[in-house]
Structure 1
Amino acid sequence: MIELRDLTKRFGATLAVDGLTFAVRPGEVTGFLGPNGAGKSTTMRVVLGLDLPTSGAALVNGHPYNTFRRPLCEVGALLDANAVHGGRTAYNHLRCLARSNGIGTRRVVAVLEQVGLAGVADKRVGGFSLGMKQRLGIAAALLGDPAVLLFDEPVNGLDPEGIRWIRELMRSLAAEGRTVLISSHLMSEMALTADLVIVIGRGRLLAETPVDELVRQFRRDVLVRSPRSAELSDALASAGASVRAEPADGLAVTGIEPGRIAELALDLRIPVHELTPRNASLEEAYLQLTDDSLEYRTTGGVR
């Protein structure tokens, strides 16, 4: 488990992380979301001992990262796919990491095959595309077969096949009982991959909730279809709802619950062919939740 206890990190006068407390548990894919400058990368660096907390604690299985004798066997991480020696081959890059943690070369071969790089194991990393470097970074994270995994924007540079592979890999790792934390700006991908999300803004916790619960908090409207839509629209408006006509006898209704819509239609003996609550997408919910936390905000379109 990854556990943050009132974690605060300052860089001079800049407060990057402000009293964060949350836990990332095994068996689930947890999305770590927030606008640029929210403190996501700093938080992950503190978890991995690359930055020291100003106060509070960041623990992995109850211990600070820098206390592990063989850290790759406890925690696997990919923070920057370009942080590799371009003159080394993929195999030698992983072999150096493996030797530093007492991991055998058979494991190096195995993870290269797992991420689809076995055919280029003897190629120098400097000639790799960003997508290939992402795969190599994931291989490094998996090298010690750790129970805890952290990934910062792991799908950058990947083609659609690679993105689907990452998604399936993350879910399979969680299904094995591992703890998986993914930082990403791709809301559509997080909606398909994550079981729950942790959302931060300006270094503070905004939400820690399952994905489906978050989107339910930001319901858009209820879609109602009826062959007598005009009559139903008048009745709903009289009951205090806001109603907007949609194609094919549809009504977009807000301000009233679906059950009450059904009761009104039944009382008036108006047939209803569809009654569908429409929640916001994860992207829409995220944008509403973080609107007050944006550090960089656009004000108009590009001309």
Structure 2
Amino acid sequence: MIEVDRLCKRFGPVSAVDGLSFTVRPGHVTGFLGPNGAGKTTTMRLILGLYTPTSGTSLVNGHRYRELVRPLHQVGALLDATAVHPGRTAHRHLLSIAQSNGIGRRRVTEVLQLTGLDTVARRRAGGFSLGMKQRLGIATALLGDPPVLIFDEPAGGLDAEGIQWIRQLFKTLAAEGRTVFVSSHLMSEMALTADRLIIIGRGRLLTDTPTEQFIESSTRADVLVRSPRAGDLAGLLTASGGGVVPDADGGLAVTGLDAPAIGDLAAEHGIAVHELVPRHASLEQAYLDITRDSVEYRAAHPEQGQEI
């Protein structure tokens, strides 16, 4: 597993990581989320020994990364898909790394096939698209068949088929009992892929929770109601303890009452209901709610009709 304990990293006056503690356990895909500048990449680099912490510790399978012998057998990582020599072929790139960790040629062939790069293995990486470089980075991470895997924004540049493939890959790796730690800004993918979420803001832990529980705990759940007598129904709902807010196209967004209660109330007073839909918060909305005060780079929202 990955264990982070009171981890801090300062760059001059800036605290990139500030007293961060969490554990990433095997058998799950754990999503690592946070706004730009939250400290996600810095945390991953600290785990992998690429930065020295100001204080605190980060361990992989109970050891600091620098203590691991032939580390690719313990942990595989993809932090930067472009970190590959452009003059090397995909095969030569993987073979050189494999040889440095005592990994045979057969495994190089296996990961090239697994990532779909076997047909371009003799092409130079400088001519690869970003999506192909991502696949090469994933192949590198898998070389040592490690129990711990760390990926920083691995879906960047992948097409729809590639994103579907990587989603299934992560689930398969976790089902095998591996520890899979993935940072991403793609909320829709994290909702489909991650079993658990660790969310940070300004270098501090905001939440560490199962994905489903995090979404369900959002206050944005409501019921959408449409009726030709929306005004009359709104009054009845408010009198019954519901919160009512006008929604788009004349609908009502109702909180505090579930769909059956709303339907029964409307039927009791002879009010027709044309639509009655329970709505649950998305991961994106729940994420935006919890990170609202942690965003460092907030752009202005142009008003409709405003010239840009």
User: Is 272-281 or 235-244 further displaced after alignment?
Assistant: 272-281
Inter-partner Cα distance in structure 2 for 1:201 and 1:247: 32
Task: Give the equivalent residue in structure 2 for 1:67.
Answer: 67
Distance across 2 between alignment mates of 1:103 and 1:299: 51
Q: Sort the Cα spacing of 1:27 and 1:269 in 2 relative to 1 into closer, same or farther, 3 A.
A: farther
1:115-157 CA deviation, whole Å, 9 max, x = no partner?
0011111111111111111000000000000010000010111
How far is the alpha carbon of 1:241 from its aligned partner? 2.3
Give the CA RMSD over aligned residues: 2.4
Greater CA deviation, 222-231 or 188-197? 222-231
Match in the other structure for 1:55 = 55
SS at match of 1:192: helix
What is the Cα deviation at residue 214 of structure 1? 1.5
Residue by residue, what CA displacement relative to the aligned partner does 1:199-239 show, whole Å, maximum 9, x if unpaired? 10000001111122112222331234678766543221113
How far residue 240 of structure 1 moved from its aligned partner, in angstroms, is 3.5
1:286 is paired with a residue of what secondary structure? helix
Shift of 1:190: 1.0
Bigger drift between 232-241 and 222-231 goes to 222-231
**Structure 1 residue matching 2:106: 3-state secondary structure:** helix
2:83 aligned counterpart, secondary structure: coil
The aligned residue for residue 284 of structure 1 is 285
| Structure 1 residues 248 and 288: alpha-carbon distance in aligned structure 2, compared to 1, 3 A threshold | closer
Question: 1:138 matched to which residue of 2?
Answer: 138
What is the distance in 1 between the residues matched to 2:248 and 2:80? 48
Q: How does 1:74-153 map to 2 (within 5 A)?
A: 74-153=74-153
Letter in structure 1 aligned against 2:65: Y
Identity %: 63
Q: Secondary structure at the match of 2:222?
A: strand
Structure 1 partner of 2:160: 160
| CA spacing shift, 1:147–1:246, aligned 2, 3 Å | same
| Equivalent in the alignment of 2:217 | 217
Offset from partner CA, 1:237-262 (integer Å, 9 cap, x none):
11342324668996420244567647
Unaligned runs of 5+ in 2: none
CA-to-partner distance for each residue in 1:79-134, whole Å, 9 max, x for gaps?
00011111111111111111111000100010001000111111111111111110
Question: What is the one-letter code of the residue matched to 1:152?
Answer: D
Structure 1 partner of 2:22: 22
User: For residues 248 and 183 of structure 1, what CA distance do their matches in structure 2 show?
Assistant: 37
1:176-215 paired onto structure 2 within 5 Å: 176-215=176-215
- Alpha-carbon distance in structure 2 between the residues aligned to 1:245 and 1:295: 32
Partner of 1:7: 7
Structure 1: distance between partners of 2:262 and 2:3: 44
Q: Which moved more, 1:190-199 or 1:107-116?
A: 190-199
The structure-2 alpha-carbon separation of the partners of 1:288 and 1:249, relative to structure 1 and needing over 3 Å to count, comes to closer
Q: What secondary structure does 2:8 align onto?
A: strand
Match of 2:156, SS?
Answer: coil
Q: 1:78 corresponds to which letter in structure 2?
A: L
Aligned residues: 303
Q: Report the AA paired with residue 20 of structure 1.
A: L
Return the alpha-carbon distance in structure 2 between the equivalents of residues 295 and 138 of structure 1.
30
Residue 98 of structure 2 aligns to a residue whose secondary structure is helix
> What is the identity, as a one-letter code, of the residue corresponding to 2:92?
N
Distance 1:262 1:26 in 2: 45
167-176 vs 36-45, which moves further: 167-176
Describe the shift of the 1:258–1:23 C-alpha distance in structure 2 as closer, same or farther (beyond 3 A).
farther
The verdict on how the C-alpha distance between 1:237 and 1:63 changes in structure 2, with shifts beyond 3 A counting, is same
- Per the TM alignment, residue 288 of structure 1 is displaced from its structure 2 partner at its CA by 1.3
